[in-house]
Structure 1
C-alpha cells in the first residue's frame, strides 16, 4: 500500500474553528466567573456530548467509554485494524485557561476531518480524556490510565472535597464501576498515540518558534520533609537555646532552589509548594515544619541523583541546628521517553510548516501520554503559548500557531501511515 504523505491544504478556517471550539468548551464550567470542569460532573457530561457531536461531524463513530472518556473512530482500509490514537484531555484545573487539554482534542478533530476519505493503513481514533489533572479526586490521569489498563482498585475510595467517593461519582455519572476494565485497550489494538498540547513553558516563545516536539516527559518524585525542633516561648528563649524548625526548613527551601538552579534552564526542576508550621502561634518558636518537595528532570537518573544531593544537604543543614529530619516519599512516576519513530513523524510534520530544524523539548509537566505509554508508543507536539503561562485564565495561543499545529499533526499522521504501510509491504 502506498500512502500519499502530502497533507491537504491547510486553512486558517481550521484554526479559527479549533479556537471557537475551545471557547465553546470554556463555557461549560461549574463556575460563572472562571473555567472549572472536573471529572464526572455535569460539565464533564456536557463537554463529552459536545465533543461527541463534533466527532460525528468529522465522520467518526462516537461513544463514551466505561471510564467516562469521549471517543471517536473511523475505520481504515479494512475494518478492525489497529488504531492510531490522537487526543488530549477535556478536564481542567480550577480557574483554568481554555487551551490546556481541549486544544489538543479539537486539533485532533480538525485532522480527522481533513483526512475524511483518505485510505489509511490503520483506524483513526480521537479521544478526549475525562481526567488528566486530578483536580477532583487527587489522583491524576484517571481517564488515560483506564484506557491503558492500569486502573488501581484502591482509587474507588478516593473522595472529593464534598466527601463523594470516586465510586459514587461513577454511579452518579451513569457509569458502572464494575465495568471500568472495558475501557482498557490492548497493545495489539493500537498503532501509537500522538498528543498535541501547549508547551506550558517559555522556550518556544523565546526561540520565536510556533512548534516543537517532545523528547521525553518528566518523571516526578514528591516528598514531605518534616523538620523537628523544639517549641518554646518566643520571648523567653535566647537564640543560643533555640531549635527553630521553621528557620531550618527555610534554609532547606533555599538550598533546594540553589541546587536545582545550578543545573541550568534545561536541568532539574524542584519546587517547594507548601509549608505547614506547628504549633503555629505568633509567640511560640516553631517546633515542627512540614514542607513538600516536587522534583522533576528529563531522566530518572538525573532526578534521582539530584534528590540524593538535596537530601544530604537538607540533613546537614538540620544537623547543624540540632534539628531532626524525617522524609516520606508520597509519589513516584518514571520519565516517559517518546518513541523515536513517532518522534520522527512529528519532526517531519513540523518540517512541512517551514521549520526545517524543529526544537526538541523535554516536558516538565505530566500528560496523558505518560499513561498511554504503558500500552502504546507515544509522541507529542508542542505549541507555543503566550509567556509560557498555563493553569491560569491568561493562558493564550496564536491562531497562526494553531494553524501550523494542525498542519503538522496531519502531516505526522500521514508520516505514520507511510511507516505502517511500509511494514505491511515488507
Structure 2
C-alpha cells in the first residue's frame, strides 16, 4: 500500500483491518478451540512479535520493556516533549473472546497509522501490556504496575500451577528480573494515559450507542467467608435444634443481594463450597466468596462494613461462627474530568448523539496508570455485554466509530496539554 493510499483510507476500511488483525492475534493461543494467552508464554512472545510488526508498518519505533510489554512510539520533532500513552492488554483469561484488551491496542496502532503524516506536539506511545488478567500467576496487572512505578519485587517468588516462579519465567523469556523497576515511566514526562476497551456490560447496547465515556473504575473488595455450624444426621436432628451452616449461608446470600440493591452497589457470591457434603448430613461447614464493588471508595468501605455486620448478625441468631478473610482489594479510580470532557466532545462530534457517561465495574490497566498520569477511557459497545467468553463480539461499524473518536482525541490532546479544553 502506498503512503497516499494509506492517508486516504476510510475509517470503515481501517476498522475492517482491525477486525482481521484481532483474528490473527486470536490464533496465538494455548487452546485449540478457544483463546488462552498467558504472561511469559510462547503465545505471549508470538503475539507481541506480530504487534511489533504492525507497529513498524504504522511508522512507529518499537521495543520490549523490562517486564515484557511491547511498545511503539510516534516520535515528535522535539525529543524534550512529553508522551501521551495509549494502551491495553494482550493477555487473556482461559477460553476468552478476542476483543477484551487487543481491540484497544489495535485501535491505537491504526490511529497512529492514520496520523503518520501529522506532526503532534508530543510523543505518542502505544503499549501492549503483557499481563492484566493474572491468568498464569493469579495476580493481576503485572504489565502496567511496573510502568506506573508500583512494582513489588516480592512478586518474583510467586509461582504458577506448575511451580514456576515469575522470576524463573522471566529469565526463560529472556528478561532480567532485577531490571523490572527500570520499566517505570516518569510522571513529569507523561502527558496522559488513554485506553479504549469493550464495555463488558450491556448499557451501551441498551441505549443503542456505539461508544461511551468512562467516569470511573470501580473499587473492589473480595472475601472468603467461612461459616461453621454443627454437622448432624438429616433424619434425627429436629429443625429447631439445628445449626445448619448452609441454611445460614443461603440467608446470607439473599441478604447480600437485597443489600446491594438497596445501596446501589454490586455484590456477587461466585463460589460456595459445602465441606464434607453428603445427602443425609446437615451441613456443618461452608465457605463462600464475596465480591463487592462501587465506583465510590468511601461507599465501598462503608457498605462493606455494614454488610459484614449483617452477616455476623445472621450467624449469631443461628448459632453459627462466621469468619471472613479479605483476599483482594483495588481502590476506586476516577477518570480525569478534563479527559472526560475531551472524550465527550469527540464522541458528540463523531456520532452526532448525546454522550453516555458510565462507570466501569471491571478492572483495567488504567487503574494503575492513573498513579502515573491523568487517565481517560472510552468504552465500545459489545454484543449483549458478554465478555471473558468465546461469544464476545463487537460490530465493525462500532470499531469504525471508536477509531474515529480515538484519532480525534489524539489530535485534541494538544488543547489538554495547554490547558485550553
Tell me the alpha carbon deviations over residues 73-94 of structure 1, each in whole angstroms, 9 at most, x when there is no partner: 1211312421100110000000
Which position in structure 2 is the counterpart of 1:4? none
Of 253-262 and 287-296, the range deviating more from structure 2: 253-262
Deviation at 1:234, TM superposition (A): 2.6
Say whether the 8 Å CA contact 1:193–1:378 is kept in structure 2. Answer: yes
Are residue 316 (structure 1) and residue 313 (structure 2) matched?
A: yes
CA distance in 2, matches of 1:60, 1:382: 25
Say whether the 8 Å CA contact 1:349–1:410 is kept in structure 2. Answer: no
Give SS of 1:222's match. Answer: strand
Give SS of 1:353's match. Answer: helix
Say whether the 8 Å CA contact 2:195–2:378 is kept in structure 1. Answer: yes
Are residue 273 (structure 1) and residue 270 (structure 2) matched?
A: yes
Of 59-68 and 282-291, the range deviating more from structure 2: 282-291
Give SS of 2:131's match. Answer: coil
Tell me the alpha carbon deviations over residues 301-348 of structure 1, each in whole angstroms, 9 at most, x when there is no partner: 222222123112211211111111112111111111001111112112
Which position in structure 2 is the counterpart of 1:167? 167
Are residue 65 (structure 1) and residue 56 (structure 2) matched?
A: no
4+ aligned runs moved over 4 Å, structure 1 = 7-10
Say whether the 8 Å CA contact 2:265–2:292 is kept in structure 1. Answer: yes
Which position in structure 2 is the counterpart of 1:132? 132
Which position in structure 1 is the counterpart of 2:322? 325
Runs of at least 5 residues in structure 2 that lack an aligned partner in the other structure: 1-6
CA distance in 2, matches of 1:356, 1:212: 11
Are residue 408 (structure 1) and residue 405 (structure 2) matched?
A: yes
Are residue 398 (structure 1) and residue 379 (structure 2) matched?
A: no
Deviation at 1:10, TM superposition (A): 4.3
Deviation at 1:282, TM superposition (A): 3.0
CA distance in 1, matches of 2:8, 2:284: 66
Which position in structure 2 is the counterpart of 1:201? 201
User: Which residue, 341, 344, 348 being the options, matches 1:344?
Assistant: 341
CA distance in 2, matches of 1:9, 1:72: 21
Give SS of 1:352's match. Answer: helix
Which position in structure 2 is the counterpart of 1:251? 251
Which position in structure 2 is the counterpart of 1:148? 148
Are residue 87 (structure 1) and residue 81 (structure 2) matched?
A: no
Of 196-205 and 331-340, the range deviating more from structure 2: 331-340
Runs of at least 5 residues in structure 1 that lack an aligned partner in the other structure: 1-6
Give SS of 2:91's match. Answer: coil
Of 239-248 and 206-215, the range deviating more from structure 2: 239-248
Give SS of 2:315's match. Answer: helix
Are residue 177 (structure 1) and residue 177 (structure 2) matched?
A: yes
Say whether the 8 Å CA contact 2:11–2:403 is kept in structure 1. Answer: no
Deviation at 1:9, TM superposition (A): 7.6
User: Which residue, 352, 355, 368 being the options, matches 1:355?
Assistant: 352
Are residue 373 (structure 1) and residue 366 (structure 2) matched?
A: no
**What is the RMSD of the two structures over their aligned residues, measured on CA atoms?**
1.5
Are residue 29 (structure 1) and residue 34 (structure 2) matched?
A: no
CA distance in 2, matches of 1:348, 1:57: 30
Tell me the alpha carbon deviations over residues 2-61 of structure 1, each in whole angstroms, 9 at most, x when there is no partner: xxxxx9884211100110110000011001111000111000000000000000011111
> Structure 1 residues 415, 9: CA separation in 2 closer, same or farther (over 3 Å shift)?
farther
CA distance in 1, matches of 2:288, 2:251: 12
**Residues paired across the two proteins, number:** 414
Say whether the 8 Å CA contact 1:345–1:413 is kept in structure 2. Answer: no
Which position in structure 1 is the counterpart of 2:46? 46
Which position in structure 1 is the counterpart of 2:384? 387
CA distance in 1, matches of 2:342, 2:34: 37
